[in-house]
A and B are shown apart, each in its own frame.
Chain A
Amino acid sequence: MNASLLQLEKVTIRFGGLTAVCELDLQIGAHELVGLIGPNGAGKTTAFNLITGVYQPTGGTIFFQGQPTANLKPHQLTRRGIARTFQNIRLFASMSVFDNVRAAVQLHRPHGIRDALWRGRGFRDGEKAVETQVMELLEIFKLGRFRAANARSLPYGEQRRLEIVRALATQPKLLLLDEPAAGMNPTEKLELTRLIRFIKDKFQIAVLLVEHDMQVVMGICERVAVLDYGVKIAEGTPAELRANPKVIEAYLGAEAR
């Protein structure tokens, strides 16, 4: 096995007659920041759903840390170290900011029903450790002051950030971000770019970024794959892609030249 953290080999999924993703090959190294771009309906989010186990591929294999992920459910993949955010923010709406992260932190904590009912010393120490862990994360991302606020009451940009924090709370090795810049203004986008780079360095993880916004993708990704109609038409550094006529035709258009 080589060093690649995630490896897709000829991954295909068909929905009836429609081939949403066709023989996709993709590799992500242990500490790499990779972008996945393409026009609307190119299969980017579908690729995400395949990697996270929401869909099972109809062909091909996905390896995570050298192990095939076939038949694993989303929660099992999260346990192994794949975390994600959603294109349309999916925070836990009835919970506070703190509890949103707390729900994710519990993944790597041993206690279950028995501790919750018996409430002995171990339980109390555990809950205290959870609280510390959650607050640490919230403080790193400057969300500490919102801890008691309802998650959906936050400003839009903060909700996006909270979703990322929540994903990080599962202690992933690979973080998948689904259009994190959607609906953000230029200042927020700039901040997001910094944030993603910061996450990658601070937590030493790999990031796969699906994004429409060229400024964001080209600005931070080390390598970018381009999808069009479910097929990967190009892959390379941002500079290489900018010069690739196929990519320009399918996606970038004249403005990027």
Chain B
Amino acid sequence: MNSGAKRWLLVAVAAAMAVSYFSAQFNRYYLGIAIDIGINIILAVSLNLINGHTGQFSLGHAGFMAVGGYTAAKFTLELQTISPPWAQPLLFLVALLLGGLLAAVAGLAVGVPTLRLRGDYLAIVTLGFGEIIRVFFQTTEAFGAATGLTGIPHWTTFAWAWSFAALTVFVVGCLVSSTYGRGFIAVHDDEVAAGAMGINPVRYKVTAFVIGAFFAGIAGGLYAHHKQFLSPGGFDFMKSIDIVVMVILGGMGRTAGVIVAAVLLTLLPEVLRGFADSRMIIYSLLIIVLMIARPQGLFTFGRKAAGKA
């Protein structure tokens, strides 16, 4: 994955744009799900950097997503009336990046004091953080309080969602496969030994947290401009759990597996729509069965590539 990686990213983005060009001919329902999948890939792959590769247990991904979503939505709602129509893609890009950056700042703010904690303790703190974010948006009038934000323009196309999905996969993949990235996995395997090898565990953990939060923020922005509506309830604890399940099901630290899991778990509730009331029960049961049958993750394509970069 050396120079080929950049080429791969360009091809993926071009492909996303090509598909998007013909999107008018697609069934709108299916197109919507395809965009959902792209957003969920961003969420799952970025959380995988934190929970999978670096071995931390964050339950706050929905919180970072909310920061990004609300920031981007507020930004476009305020500026779309005064900006010319031709500037719309630029405005959207800035909104997304701004959302990502603020989410990254939130990640830094949570990460620095809490990443001395391990395992369960970190999980609880990040869970608390996610709830604080949600309550903050729920009570702040400027963000629509409990009713949420409405009338967000529908700017998230297939190209936007999947280009950023490709970018997320590229960034996480490149980081983890480089010599620099051994540090993440070393921290995952054994923090004390990592420290003894000159690797600063806190630094790596914070880095993983900030990068993960950044992409969660981007995903939030895409989500806001896809659903055209944001409510604090959409970013509750269950949303974080959904993303964690994708990571665990795909196999911690295995990007390809996590992508497949994100696709499957986005499709599954849609496929089960016919079962109406019992839908969530079947969904939960399927996850339990999968976890019992494949505790190491659904898609373990052998060990992580050993030796070669």
Residues on A lying within 8 angstroms of B by beta carbon are 52, 54, 73-75, 78-79, 83-84, 86, 90-96, 98-99, 102-107, 109, 111-113, 115-117, 119, 123-124, 126-127, 130-131, 147-150, 166-167, 169-170
Chain B residues lying within 8 Å of A126, measured Cβ to Cβ, are 179
Does B189 contact A106, Cβ atoms closer than 8 Å? no
Q: At the interface with chain A, which of B149-157, B170-178, B218-226, B255-263? A: B170-178
B interface size (C-beta, 8 A): 35
B6 touches A119 (CB 8 A): yes
Task: Give the Cβ gap from B264 to chain A, nearest Cβ, in Å.
Answer: 24
Sample of 20 A–B contacts (CB below 8 Å): A73-B195, A75-B197, A78-B195, A86-B196, A92-B186, A99-B185, A105-B179, A106-B183, A107-B197, A107-B198, A111-B179, A111-B180, A113-B180, A115-B178, A119-B5, A119-B6, A123-B178, A148-B307, A149-B306, A170-B197
- B207 at interface by CB-CB < 8 Å: yes
Q: Is the CB of A86 within 8 A of B193?
A: yes
Does A127 contact B2, Cβ atoms closer than 8 Å? Answer: yes
User: Which listed residue (B3, B175, B199) contacts A107, Cβ 8 A?
Assistant: B199
Given A102-B179, A119-B5, A123-B178; A90-B188 close (CB under 8 Å):
no
A105 to B5, CA, bound (A): 23
B194 CB-CB contact with A under 8 Å: yes
By the criterion CB–CB under 8 Å, are B188 and A75 in contact?
no
Of the candidates B6, B195, B307, the one whose C-beta lies within 8 Å of that of A74 is B195
- A78-B197, A94-B304 are known contacts. Are A117 and B175 too (CB-CB below 8 A)? yes
Give complex CA distance A89, B153 in Å.
57
Contact of B195 among A75, A115, A148 (CB under 8 A): A75
**Are B189 and A104 within 8 A (Cβ)?**
no
A75 contacts across to B, CB distance below 8 A: 194-201
- B198 partner residues in chain A, CB cutoff 8 A: 75, 78-79, 104, 107, 170
Q: How far is the CA of A210 from the CA of B201 in the complex (A)?
A: 26
Q: Which of B171, B197, B207, B309 has the most CB of A within 10 A?
A: B197
State whether B306 touches A150 (Cβ < 8 A). yes
A residues in contact with B200, CB < 8 Å? 73, 75
Q: Could you say which residues of chain A place their CB within 8 Å of the CB of B197? A: 75, 78, 83, 103-104, 107, 166-167, 169-170
Docked complex Cα distance between A107 and B199 (Å): 7
Closest to B178 in A: A116
Chain B nearest CB from A191 CB (Å) reads: 24
Contacts of A95 in B (CB 8 A): 182, 185-186, 189, 304, 306
Q: Given the complex of chains A and B, what is the CA–CA distance between A149 and B307 in angstroms?
A: 9
What does DSSP make chain B's interface, helix, strand, loop or mixed?
A: helix
Whether A84 touches B174, Cβ cut-off 8 Å, given contacts A106-B180, A113-B207, A148-B306, is no
Question: Contact partner of B179 among A84, A92, A130, A170, CB < 8 A?
Answer: A130
- A95, B183: Cα distance in complex, Å: 11
Q: Determine the distance from Cα of A75 to Cα of B193 in the docked complex, in whole angstroms.
A: 10
Residues of A within 8 A of B189 (CB): 91-95
Return A157 CB to nearest CB of chain B, in Å. 19
Does B303 touch A at the CB level, under 8 Å? yes
* Chain A residue at smallest Cβ distance from B193: A90
| Known A96-B307, A119-B6; further 8 A-B contacts with Cβ < 8 A | A91-B193, A93-B189, A109-B179, A112-B180, A115-B178, A124-B2, A127-B179, A127-B309
A55 to chain B, nearest CB (A): 12
**B6 closest partner in A (C-beta):** A119
CB distance from B180 to the nearest CB of A (A): 5
Contacts of A106 in B (CB 8 A): 179-180, 182-183, 199
B60: CB under 8 A from chain A?
no
Chain B, residue nearest A170 (CB): B198
A166 partner residues in chain B, CB cutoff 8 A: 197
> In whole Å, how far is B242's beta carbon from the nearest beta carbon of chain A?
26
Identify the closest chain B residue to A111 (Cβ). B180
Q: Nearest CB to that of A80 among chain B residues?
A: B198
CB–CB B196/A84 < 8 A: yes
Q: Which of A93, A94, A170 has the most CB of B within 10 A?
A: A94
Most buried by A among B175, B179, B188: B179
Q: From residue A166, how far is it (CB to closest CB) to chain B in Å?
A: 7
Q: Are B196 and A52 in contact (CB under 8 A)?
A: yes
* Chain A residues, Cβ within 8 Å of B188: 94
Q: Does B282 reach chain A (CB closer than 8 Å)?
A: no
Knowing A75-B199, A104-B198, the reply to whether A115 touches B190 (Cβ < 8 A) is no
Cβ contacts under 8 Å, A104 to chain B: 197-198
CB distance from A250 to the nearest CB of B (A): 30
Docked complex Cα distance between A83 and B5 (Å): 35
Cβ–Cβ < 8 Å partners of A93 in chain B = 189-190
Which 10 residue pairs are nearest across A and B when measured between Cβ atoms? A96-B306, A78-B198, A107-B198, A116-B178, A103-B182, A74-B195, A92-B189, A90-B193, A104-B197, A148-B306
